[in-house]
Structure 1
Amino acid sequence: TMSSVLASARCFVHGVILNGDGSGTELKSDPEPNQRLWIHLDYSENDCADTLKSLGLPDNIIESLVRVSTRPRTLAEKEGFLVFLRAVNLNPGDEPDDMVSLRVWLEPDRLITVRQRRVYSIQDIRKELDAGKGSKTIHELFICLVERLADRISEYVDNMEEKLAAFEENVDDFNVSQVRTEVSSLRRQVASVRRYLAPQRDALESFYRLSRNSLEERLVYELHEQTDRTVRYVEDLDLVKERCMVLQEELMNLIAQEQNARMYVLSVVAAIFLPISFVTGLFGMNVAGLPGVEDPTAFILVAGSMGTIVVGILLYFKFKRWV
């Protein structure tokens, strides 16, 4: 039986029968023909393809569900919809921008989700079903899944915007080199997330177009709202990217100003000591005929003339407003 096959499969994570009242019952026996079923599998296990085949899925669908690398997209088949999504990676030790692949096979009365790494949005939905506050139908369950994925993405995008805003407001208080490193890392994260979020926007828009005639009106509205949310997050990431570029330019300007200030000080010092160095070099030559060699007041006269030169240069710089 299906329940015994799933129970013995290493790839089986959980199975839930929707009761139609917002609650779910753990799959322990074969469901009735009219019952709504949600099966969650781990495609990293070797028996995942065989398990999917025992569930009656076509070979081309199985191949797509267990493929190693995927990008978000939607495919409409005779039996249902194949949807590839991405979720923010919140697993301990992993980077959030290393987004987790979630593959979905959607039928009118059955939902099969397949992943390799843990998806916390799936856990959120399972808790809602256990508490009796979850989805009542399979289509509603899928829309709820999309919403929970969007909630996690929203938290991640908001966190990135807060970090960037902190850098922008206190750019003068931070170490410039450290801020440059942080902003560069932020730009890489934005690029990594947008790489999958932009196709996910297109995938949801495609699913909306293909399924709106078969969904309830309220679900069509909810799906449209979630699609719009994803579009906004892509736009927010684009804005974060632009703000990062502006901040990096500002940091480069600060570095350039600091370097110019140091070079200016060195130039002023060089301008002051250049004529003095000429005088000391001239009177320091060991040749006969130098004036004042026998005069005891000659040193005082030379030193006084060099002091006068320094004062004259400083007054000239002050007149020109260079110091």
Structure 2
Amino acid sequence: MQPGLVWGCARTDEGTVLIEECDDRKEAGFRWLHFNLADDRTPRWLERSTKLPRPIHDLMLARETHQQVIVEDGIVGLVLQDFERDFDAAETSQIGALHIVIAPGLMLTGRYHPIRSADIIRQRIAAGYDVRDGAAALNLAVGTMIDGLSQHVHGLAHGIQTAEDEFLNERMNPATRDLIAVRRRGARLHRLVSGMRATLVRLEKDPDLPGIFLPVAERHVQRLHALDTDVASTQAQLRQLRDELDLQAAQKTNQNLYFLSVISALLLPATLVTGFFGMNTGGLPFAHTQAGTFVAALAAITSSVATWLLLRRRP
């Protein structure tokens, strides 16, 4: 494998085949090269072997991860966000960027950190996906990224639906910490999906965009619009679940406060009575009679019962 090149493919008469060298054309009509941009040899190869416009060249090597698009001299440059991949896990919560450049007969992609979608793209090409031109390559790249986002959104929606079912069936209330984590995942997905959609809308409306890419942009803008609607619906469902949990917690708090208030109201008269008879002063009634304690207890109980009857009579 040539330094800096993660994988590549070339379109031949037999179909799309994987290649291991940047300059391995195999009589190719179209090539796709995916680079590790963190490799110091990648910028040197780009400078030596491509003649990209300077804005496109800078976009390809930029370390910024915000999503953007540039079209210049018929060459398309994109930066789209996706979830990163780790060696110990298929994906992480970290968001990285896939840099895309499409020139006549050539598509370049690159990343500074491993991207989940790049591995899936390679697997689909190895399985027989025909990358016949730049439009097909862009369709595969963006479509794979949207498929991954769709899986995240559906997983998020399923998790919220499961938590809501358990809450409604009174089996278990979701933990606040779990709901906060779900809310953060939803917000991250919303920013990612809406940002990708806005980027493709700008690509679609760019007057310099070659016509071959317009159907691809339109198709995926529609997919992202539907996916963004799903994210918004999931966020609304989460807010409704949190409102129901807050209402339930408020009701339990009010019930506990009411119970404590009733107990306090019942004990207060009795406390006053026992406090009165407990004063260490002369002349206390019943202080020198055998029934003094019984009379004091009866007075305390009577005052509590009277208070209870008064509370019950109140609307």
TM-score bucket (shorter structure): 0.7 to 0.9
2:154 maps to 158
1:46 maps to 40
2:229 maps to 235
Question: Residue type matched to 1:66 in 2?
Answer: L
Distance in structure 2 (CA, Å) of the matches to 1:104 and 1:112: 6
Structure 1 consecutive aligned stretches of length 4 or more whose deviation exceeds 6 Å: none
Distance in structure 1 (CA, Å) of the matches to 2:14 and 2:197: 31
Question: Residue type matched to 1:174 in 2?
Answer: M
Question: Residue type matched to 2:277 in 1?
Answer: F
Question: Can you give the 5+ residue segments of structure 2 that lack an aligned partner in the other structure?
Answer: none
Distance in structure 1 (CA, Å) of the matches to 2:19 and 2:28: 16
The aligned runs of 1:75-94 (5 Å cut-off) are: 75-91=70-86, 92=88
Distance in structure 2 (CA, Å) of the matches to 1:8 and 1:244: 48
8 Å CA contact 1:65–1:114 kept in 2: the answer is: yes
Distance in structure 2 (CA, Å) of the matches to 1:153 and 1:101: 14
Shift of 1:154: 0.2
Aligned equivalent of 2:67, options 58, 63, 72? 72
8 Å CA contact 1:103–1:114 kept in 2: the answer is: yes
1:3 maps to none
8 Å CA contact 2:135–2:216 kept in 1: the answer is: no
The aligned runs of 1:141-290 (5 Å cut-off) are: 141-171=137-167, 172-175=170-173, 178=175, 180-210=176-206, 214-215=211-212, 220-290=214-284
TM-score normalised over the length of structure 1:
0.86
Identity, in percent, stands at: 20
The aligned runs of 1:30-41 (5 Å cut-off) are: 30-31=24-25, 35-41=29-35
Shift of 1:50: 0.8
Distance 1:42 1:213, change over 3 A: closer
C-alpha distance after superposition, 1:225-250 (max 9, x if no partner): 22111122222223333333333333
8 Å CA contact 1:105–1:111 kept in 2: the answer is: yes
Deviates more, 1:36-45 or 1:200-209: 200-209
Could you say what the CA RMSD is over the residues aligned between the two structures, in angstroms? 2.5
C-alpha distance after superposition, 1:189-248 (max 9, x if no partner): 222232232221011122233477621xxx754542221111222222233333333333
TM-score normalised over the length of structure 2:
0.88
Deviates more, 1:120-129 or 1:227-236: 120-129
Aligned residues: 309
Distance in structure 2 (CA, Å) of the matches to 1:269 and 1:41: 73
Shift of 1:101: 0.3
Question: Residue type matched to 2:7 in 1?
Answer: H
Shift of 1:131: 2.9
Distance in structure 2 (CA, Å) of the matches to 1:84 and 1:204: 10
The aligned runs of 1:7-156 (5 Å cut-off) are: 8-9=2-3, 11-19=4-12, 22-28=15-21, 30-31=24-25, 35-58=29-52, 59-91=54-86, 92=88, 96-156=92-152
Distance 1:72 1:213, change over 3 A: same
C-alpha distance after superposition, 1:74-110 (max 9, x if no partner): 2111041001111233434587442220000001311
Distance in structure 1 (CA, Å) of the matches to 2:11 and 2:91: 33
Distance in structure 1 (CA, Å) of the matches to 2:202 and 2:13: 28
Question: Residue type matched to 1:281 in 2?
Answer: G
Shift of 1:292: 1.3
Higher relative contact order (CA 8 A, sep 6+): 1
| DSSP 3-state at the match of 2:123 | helix
Distance in structure 1 (CA, Å) of the matches to 2:242 and 2:13: 53
| DSSP 3-state at the match of 1:170 | helix
